[in-house]
């Protein structure tokens, strides 16, 4: 797989919009996602294999803090290291923007994602009860970034 990561453009979103729910799991509504792409404090990236989008990820910045908004991998391309490469890119952006920490929420049932975040030294700092669909808890994880 020759994976390349690029800043996401609206045309990329338009390519994946028809298959978001079928191939990428539950996700925000298209209007919310388009709003994120237009937000000057948000950065989104796509992972492409040839010209096929196999994943995407985003980060939102507020002062010196970053929040991972999502890391989403095409169902047929999971467990290939794509999530790791996208997370590395998000961490790189946070460092470039002089952020002191990165925080995220993850469904407590998403063991693969939790393992990914632990691999990158995110630590559990809290819990949001019944956050996902009013049933599943969200684990809050944070990574402190070294000062540059």
- Beta strand pairing status for 65-73 and 136-144? unpaired
CA distances to 22, 55, 72, 79, 123 from 76, in Å: 11, 10, 12, 9, 28
Q: Indicate which residue of 65, 105, 123, 132 is catalytic.
A: 105
Query: Alpha helices of the chain — where are they, by DSSP H?
Result: 10-16, 20-23, 30-38, 82-96, 111-119
User: In terms of C-beta density within 10 A (0-12 exposed, 13-18 middle, 19 or more buried), how is residue 18 classed?
Assistant: exposed
Which of 36, 43, 44, 117 is an active site residue?
117
Q: For this structure, is 4 an active site residue?
A: no
Catalytic annotation on 36? no
Residues noted as catalytic: 105, 117
């Amino acid at each position: 797989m020759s994976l390349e990561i690029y800043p996401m453009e609206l045309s990329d979103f338009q390519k994946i919009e028809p298959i978001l729910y079928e191939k990428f799991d539950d996700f925000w509504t298209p209007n919310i996602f388009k709003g994120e792409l237009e937000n000057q404090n948000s950065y989104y990236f796509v992972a492409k294999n040839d010209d096929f989008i196999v994943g995407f990820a985003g980060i939102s910045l507020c002062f010196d803090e970053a929040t991972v908004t999502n890391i989403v991998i095409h169902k047929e391309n999971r467990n290939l290291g794509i999530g790791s490469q996208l997370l590395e890119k998000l961490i790189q952006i946070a460092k470039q923007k002089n952020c002191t920490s990165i925080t995220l929420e993850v469904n407590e049932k998403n063991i693969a994602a939790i393992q990914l975040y632990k691999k990158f030294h995110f630590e559990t700092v809290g819990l949001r009860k019944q956050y996902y669909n009013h049933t599943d808890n969200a684990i809050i994880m944070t990574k402190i970034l070294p000062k540059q």
